Structure 1
Amino acid sequence: MKNSCFKNLNFLFLLAALSVFSLENIAAQEDKTLTREGNNLFKKEKYNEAEISYRKALEKNKNMPEATFNLGDAVYEQKRFDEATKQFEQSAKTATDNSIKAKAFHNLGNSYLSQKKYEEAANAFKSSLKLNPKDADTRYNLAYANAMLHQQQQDQNKQNKDNKNDQKDNKDQQNKDNKKDQNKDNKNNDQQNQNDQQQADNKENKQQQPQPKLSKEDAEKLLQALQNEEQKANQKVQKANAKPANVKVEKDW
């Protein structure tokens, strides 16, 4: 694996062995042949073709540890990290050899690192070191995973704090806007009430408009005129009620 941040993937090679010609051995030779073919293609960085060979080998023998393990390497190099994770989990689960199991956990940790799943990566490296405590690459990768996990947690805490501050700022701004709108509504209501009161006052003033006041001189003139009118009226009444005096007329005979 080409990565300057953490150490390389492990890879399994097949050992040559004496073979006895039989139908069972021929089938076994086919899966090993396909696995070796996949290994050669992998060395040439033909990862897609290597993947095909490993899958064919597993069709012949689904329990073949080398093909299972190296298939994980092939899909990893194609940056299909989720598939690689599942493949290495399977290899670690089914491997009977602790050396292979330790390497599977190491590669599983690398798959998690590539997905920035640092806590899972650290756990995988710890499992590998339990089986092979002296593996320097695994120890290095565990330290790297822990450092990245610490940084990730700090970043998350900062993000949470920033989000909390943003929410507070948004709430404060909303309260400020609401208060501004409320003040505007109150101002409009006050203006409306003032206009209504002004209209009511104008109406009342119109209905109850006082008569203009007379000056003292005008009042005396008006009073004198009223008295004169009253006196004239009284005179007319007296004149009308007056009876003519009885005059005795002597008859001239």
Structure 2
Amino acid sequence: MKVLSFVFIFLCISFSTKAQVEAKMVRKANKLYEEGKFKEAEIDYRKALDKYKDSYKSKYNLGNSLYKQKKYEEASKVYQELSELEADKYTKSRVYHNLGNSYLESKKYNESVNAYKNALRNNSTDADTKYNLAYAQKKIAQQQKQQQQQQQNKQDNKEDKNKDKQKENQPKPDDKKDKDKEQKQQQQQNDKMSKEDAKRMLDALNNEEKKVQDKLKKQARGGNVKPEKDW
């Protein structure tokens, strides 16, 4: 019985001492936090967690000190880990609220909406959480509208490029006039050449006919005509 009593008393004293040391470390870190020395507070909260890994308060306040330093990614990881631990509903709602804030600052709007909804499941009357939820939902709507506008602009630019390309392939009015004029000049030149060729041919025929007529006249007058060779 004495052994059991000793163990029991030893454990109680041990737990009591542990709680006192932990509380002292957390109080020191809290003081730094209240003074706005968030980096120093973070260091002390981490020291407390190194010694007392299950310290919910140290972990919660560590998340807050990270958030104050705008280390939103790190803060969200701490709050996410806390959300998976056992706690009363009010504390849970605070954890989810801060998790939502961290996601919101990181522009992870869908994640922040889910976190705020979880906060309201644990404390449905929290006005701040309701406001932040509405704000996050508004940001999602704006983001979707912006994406749709960008997609529409992209489609419009594509259609404009296609129209410009079609216009480039079509002859311009001035080009068509020049082309018609050029074709007309070419046709006139061809017609002129045809007339000149016809005149030359006609002159050649006339000359040939004149030669024949002269030859016939000579034969008629009894002129000397060289006979064809009789082979």
Query: If the length of structure 2 is used for normalisation, what is the TM-score?
Result: 0.70
1:33 matched residue in structure 2: 24
Q: Note closer, same or farther for the CA distance 1:229–1:69 as it changes in structure 2 (3 Å cut).
A: same
2:213 matched residue in structure 1: 223
Q: Matched residues in 1 for 2:84 and 2:211: separation? A: 129
Please show how residues 103-252 of structure 1 align to structure 2 within 5 Å: 103-177=94-168, 210=201, 212-213=203-204, 219=209, 223-228=213-218, 231-233=222-224
How far does residue 179 in structure 1 lie from its aligned partner after superposition?
A: 5.4
Secondary structure in 1 matching 2:30: helix
Aligned length: 200
Determine which of 35, 42, 55 is the counterpart of 1:44.
35
Secondary structure in 2 matching 1:94: coil
Q: Matched residues in 2 for 1:219 and 1:129: separation? A: 120
How far does residue 42 in structure 1 lie from its aligned partner after superposition?
A: 0.9
Once the two structures are aligned, what percentage of the paired residues are identical?
35
Q: Matched residues in 2 for 1:62 and 1:135: separation? A: 30
Residue-by-residue CA offset, 1:146-183 (whole Å, 9 max, x unaligned)? 22222222222222222222222233334444557xxx
Residue-by-residue CA offset, 1:87-109 (whole Å, 9 max, x unaligned)? 11111111422222110000011
Q: Note closer, same or farther for the CA distance 1:34–1:172 as it changes in structure 2 (3 Å cut).
A: farther
Structure 2: which amino acid aligns with 1:34? M
1:11 matched residue in structure 2: none
How far does residue 28 in structure 1 lie from its aligned partner after superposition?
A: 3.7
Query: Contact (CA 8 Å) 1:41, 1:49: kept in 2 or not?
Result: yes
1:17 matched residue in structure 2: none
Q: Matched residues in 2 for 1:67 and 1:79: separation? A: 18
How far does residue 78 in structure 1 lie from its aligned partner after superposition?
A: 1.1
1:9 matched residue in structure 2: none
Q: Matched residues in 1 for 2:29 and 2:49: separation? A: 12
Larger radius of gyration: 1
Query: Contact (CA 8 Å) 1:125, 1:141: kept in 2 or not?
Result: yes
Q: Note closer, same or farther for the CA distance 1:176–1:31 as it changes in structure 2 (3 Å cut).
A: farther
Q: Note closer, same or farther for the CA distance 1:212–1:160 as it changes in structure 2 (3 Å cut).
A: same
Query: Contact (CA 8 Å) 1:30, 1:57: kept in 2 or not?
Result: no
Secondary structure in 2 matching 1:104: helix
Determine which of 46, 54, 66 is the counterpart of 2:57.
66
Secondary structure in 2 matching 1:74: helix
Determine whether 1:89 maps to 2:56: no
Q: Matched residues in 2 for 1:175 and 1:78: separation? A: 57
CA-atom RMSD in angstroms: 3.8
Structure 1: which amino acid aligns with 2:130? R
Q: Which runs of 5+ in 1 are unaligned?
A: 1-19, 238-253
Q: Matched residues in 2 for 1:135 and 1:214: separation? A: 117
Q: Note closer, same or farther for the CA distance 1:220–1:66 as it changes in structure 2 (3 Å cut).
A: closer
Query: If the length of structure 1 is used for normalisation, what is the TM-score?
Result: 0.65
